[in-house]
Amino acid sequence: MSSRLRSIDWVGDKVRFIDQTKLPNELDLIETDDYKIVADAIKKLKIRGAPAIGIAAGFGIYLGVKNFEDDDKENLKVAFQNVCDVFAKTRPTAVNLFWAIERMKKVFYENLHLELVELKKKLLAEALAIQNEDIQMCRQIGLHGSKLIPDEANILTHCNTGWLATGDYGTALGIIYTAFEQGKKIKVYVDETRPLLQGARLTTWELMQRGIETILITDNMAAYLMKLGKVDCVIVGADRVALNGDTANKIGTYNLAIIARYHNIPFYVACPTSSIDFNIKTGDEIPIEERGSEEIVEIMGQRIAPAGVKTFSPAFDVTPNSLITAIVTEVGIIYPPFEENLQKIKRKIYARD
Ligand code: MRU
């Protein structure tokens, strides 16, 4: 356990997470050893952000088998699969979730011959490894990405990609933090990120805690901001990157990429390689989560549209690779042609595993 507050952590024999739906008004820490509470927290965005969701699934799956006492391997397999299925059904787009589930499954089946108590230890060790690796990956993303940030840069970001969304530190925000720690004077414009306001509620909160100059805008102001010459680069995170570089991220990211191209502004994606889906060729294969209408017809519980109005609420969109200047990962900065260069990363990663 670390002394530093993390959005999700392992404390004693429980998971502790920040209920991100209550920020910035309330810092509510929830401790639980019930895997169903963890799964529900992912569904309700109490735990959110692709890497944090993956970490939560690792801990949650361990919790799901922790109290299992039946030594019968067949019963154990059924129980384990059920727990994995509960997590797989929480949110469909962020591939980190499925990546973490697969890692837990691999450890489970490779160690099924062990005594139950030993098998449980292996599962906890894997969940902790997923968390620790994510923290290291974010650090590396920050170091690589900070090379793209000139001194006095004005940066625009979308949604929340900081320590709340990851094991610690962040991806796109990790780059911003690193550049700031290197002494670069930077200014960050933050899209509010409707409908759930991750930018207004979470990103501004994180950036201001670090003393970084933060300017909140509503999502529809970005093009004008660019026209005024106030944006040197855009940096966003990713929920799933296809092998050709097409990138799913929070709804509104695609708009930003289009207007950035129109204004000749570099558009960077930052993510760990755990957010790359090496099994899909293009963004057309990425499942896009649709959420309930209440998130559109209400703002923070306050109704803003007439009763009965029809809505459409995709949580993510896919930015085509042609609009992306570079993808920053823990293994380095990847430039176009993404098809070719992501294949190289795939080969490297598969050789390492
Ligand atoms: O719906 P959310 O809040 O989970 O969406 C989060 C995003 O889209 C982030 O940009 C992405 O997960 C990267 S977080 C490092």
Which CATH number is 204's domain given?
A: 3.40.50.10470
Q: Residue 217: count other Cβ atoms within 10 Å of its Cβ.
A: 17
Quick one: pLDDT at residue 1?
41
Residues in the chain with pLDDT values less than 70: 1-3
Beta bridge partner(s), residue 316: 250
239 is catalytic: yes
Beta bridge partner(s), residue 30: 17
| Angle between helix 73-88 and 95-110 (nearest 10) | 170
Q: What residues make up the domain containing 253?
A: 141-352
- Verify that 195 and 324 share a domain, yes or no: yes
What CATH number does the domain containing 132 carry? Answer: 1.20.120.420
Mutate to test the pocket of ligand 1, among 157, 166, 198 (most ligand atoms within 8 A of CB): 198
Tell whether 342 is covered by a domain: yes
Residues lining ligand 1, Cβ inside 6 A: 45, 48-51, 94, 159, 161, 165-166, 171, 198, 237-239, 249-250, 315
Nearest by Cα to 104 from 90, 78, 118, 124: 124
Tell whether 3 is covered by a domain: no
Number of domains in the chain: 2
Tokens matching residue 107: 């450890």
- Verify that 171 and 264 share a domain, yes or no: yes
- Verify that 191 and 261 share a domain, yes or no: yes
- Verify that 21 and 152 share a domain, yes or no: no
- Verify that 217 and 265 share a domain, yes or no: yes
Q: Which of 9, 239, 246, 277 is catalytic?
A: 239
Tell whether 339 is covered by a domain: yes
- Verify that 183 and 311 share a domain, yes or no: yes
Quick one: pLDDT at residue 281?
97
- Rounded Cα distance between 201 and 294, Å, is 18
The single residue listed with the structure tokens 């100059």 is 213
Quick one: pLDDT at residue 2?
52
Quick one: pLDDT at residue 353?
72
- Verify that 234 and 188 share a domain, yes or no: yes
State which ligand 1 atom lies nearest to the alpha carbon of 249.
Answer: 8
The single residue listed with the structure tokens 């923290």 is 135
